[in-house]
Structure formats: structure tokens, C-alpha cells
Amino acid sequence: MKANVLISGGSGYIGKHLISTLKDVGNLYTITKYEADMIDMDITWRKCDIYVLKDMIDALEGIDIAIYYLDPNKKSAKLTQSTARNLNLLASDNMAKACKENNVKKIIYITGSPFDQETIDTLKSTGIEVQATEQSIKRPAVSIELQKSKFDDVRSVDRMPIPYEWDMEQVVKYYFEWLQETSGTLVTTELIGDKYNVYFKHRSNPLLKLQRITPSIHEDLIQFKVVGGALAVNLYEDNGVLEFRKLRLTNEFIVHLYNYIPRIPWSIYYLSQAPIHNVTMKGFEVDCRIKDFQLRTTAGEIKKYTK
């Protein structure tokens, strides 16, 4: 009986080569976010965003072996604010978690990325056997900011330290408090039950309404769904998700905004709201580093602060 083998990117140049090589070895599956990519008939396509854990868990159902690599030309969103390293970390963490959930027997990692060791360590983080190929396929570390997309959607991925001995509940609480207390953000926040409302200071109408998603899809994730506000488009079932993700191998977490569709015209968003969001997240990263340093210093650790 042939094994069910999933290739993480069948629409890219690496994936197309793998499909032609492995088509007689097993029952081949692959994933893509876009239906227009589903053109090769030698493989079974599953619609999936590799950066979204729920999609990956669904896509890996019934799979025996997963072949992982991240194509440098991987389409993500119309606007992606992230480094290539953070995108790869997010995707490999999803692969590890989804394989664990589906009892996948093995992950084969195709080496050749500048982040090979970090990727291998992340793939191993849930206990799944990982085999790294001896033959490497070199690929550049690039993150394409603007791409063609069916929707004017946005993705941003930021990585920062967890302040010393904090858990993710404390991190999330601190983020919304920081937004309110930092004068440069120009916003205030309000927690009502399990929903955060974000306002312009001295305004009564929310810019965004963020509803916590319960139950959580994974113990390492805290997610909020965009459910309204002046900056949200209410025409689609999915208006965006803000995700806080703990990284198990390091004292770090990722803040991931995805599927967010701005309400203002795209050109105005790109020149105004997008850079403001980017600067805000960089400011929060610096603040988390300072908070981590302060807490470690108070605890008696000797640690040199680095930006």
C-alpha cells in the first residue's frame, strides 16, 4: 500500500520537480492558498494557507509523510510585512504542530535554506521524526512585500522576546495595555468580556473590535478575530485574525496578523496605516526587550541589554 505523501509547495519550481520525481512512489498531495495554482493533475490539491495552523491541521489529515520546504516565491498576501526568516519559522512551526495533531510518521526537510538548523529544530519540536536531505537545493532568503492576490489582504509577522518568566496571557494583556499607555500609538483600548475594542484617543467609535477565539486551536496560541470597527471590512466571513504564538524552543513569541482586509482604499492604507502598524510593532518589540532586561535584572541575573 502506497504512503500518502504531502509536499508543502507543489506550485513552485521545487515542488514541480518533486512531483515528477515522486509520482510513482506514493499518493501525492500538496497545498496552496490559491485555486489558480491547482493545475498539475498528477497530485491531489488541498487548499491551505501554510501560515495558518488550522488550515495545516486540516490539510495533513490522513498523511503519512510530509515533505517540507518553503518556496522563496511563496505567495502569501497582497502585502506581507515580515522577514523571510520569520515567515519560515511560522510555517515550520505550523508543520510541526499539524503533523503532531495528525500522527504523521515522518517529516522530510529539504535543506538549502539559510535557516536550515533553526528549521530542523522547529520541525523536531513536537517529537516527530525529521529527516534532513543530504542533497541541498539552494534558495534565497527573500520576502516579497507586494504580490498579486484575489483580495487586498495583509499579513504581518513580528518576533520578539517573552519578558522573563511571563506566560502568554501576561504578554497579551501587556500588549493592549502598552497600546493604551504609549503616547505614540494614538489609541486607547478597552476590554469587555473576551473582546478588546481599540479606539483613537478621545473618540467613542472603535477602530477595531477583536473577539478572542475560544477554545484555542493550540495551547501555544492566543487568537483574536476582527469582528468590527471603522478599519474593518464586514463583507467577508473572515475579516482578519491577530495571533500571539509562543515559540517552544526559545524565550520568544510571534505576533501574526493575517487575512486582514483594510477598509480604506489600498493606496492610502499602504502609505499610512501599514507603516504605522509596522512602527507600532517595532516599538512593542523594543519595549518587550527592555521589560525582559528589567525583570532579569530584578531577579538577579547578569544580562547585557541589546536592542
In degrees, rounded to 5, the angle at the alpha carbon of residue 34 between the alpha carbons of residues 29 and 39 is 55
pLDDT for res 62: 97
- Please report which confidence band the pLDDT of residue 237 belongs to, taking 50, 70 and 90 as the band edges: low
Indicate the pairing of strand 4-7 with strand 65-68: parallel
pLDDT the model gives residue 25: 81
Whether residues 202 and 102 share a domain: the answer is no
- Report pLDDT digits (tens) over 16-31: 778 878 877 889 999 9
Confidence of residue 197 (pLDDT cuts 50, 70, 90): very high
Give pLDDT tens digits for 204-229.
899 999 999 999 999 999 999 999 99
Residue 72 has pLDDT above 80, yes or no: no
pLDDT for position 142: 67
Whole-number pLDDT of residue 175:
97
In a domain, 241, yes or no: yes
- Does 280 map to a domain? yes
pTM above threshold 0.85:
yes
Q: Indicate the number of domains in the chain.
A: 2
Domain shared by 31 and 84, yes or no: yes
Same domain, 74 and 203: no
For residues 51-75, give the mean pLDDT.
90
> Whole-number mean pLDDT of the chain?
89
- pLDDT for the residue 233: 82
- What CATH number did the domain enclosing 212 receive? 3.30.530.20
- Render pLDDT for 94-112 as a digit per residue (tens, 0 to 9): 999 999 999 999 999 999 9
Examine residue 78 and state whether it is found in any structural domain, yes or no. yes
Quote the pLDDT of residue 307.
56
Q: Given this model, what pLDDT does residue 149 score? A: 66
Q: Domain check: are 97 and 32 in the same one?
A: yes
Same domain, 204 and 281: yes
Predicted confidence (pLDDT) per residue in 141-174, tens digit: 766 676 766 668 899 999 999 999 999 999 999 9
Give the model's confidence band at 3: pLDDT under 50 very low, under 70 low, under 90 confident, else very high.
Answer: very high
Is the pLDDT assigned to residue 305 strictly greater than 70? Answer: no
- Which pLDDT score, from 0 to 100, does residue 166 have? 97
Within a domain: 276: yes
Write out the residue range of the structural domain in which residue 90 sits: 4-132
The pLDDT value recorded for residue 300 is 86
Same domain assignment for residues 96 and 186: no
* Structural domain ending residue among the three candidates 101, 132, 163: 132
Q: Given 71, 102, 132, which residue is the final one in a domain?
A: 132
Is residue 224 domain-shared with residue 283, that is, in the same domain? yes
- 249 vs 41, which has greater pLDDT? 249
pLDDT at site 14: 76
Domain boundary among 71, 98, 132: 132
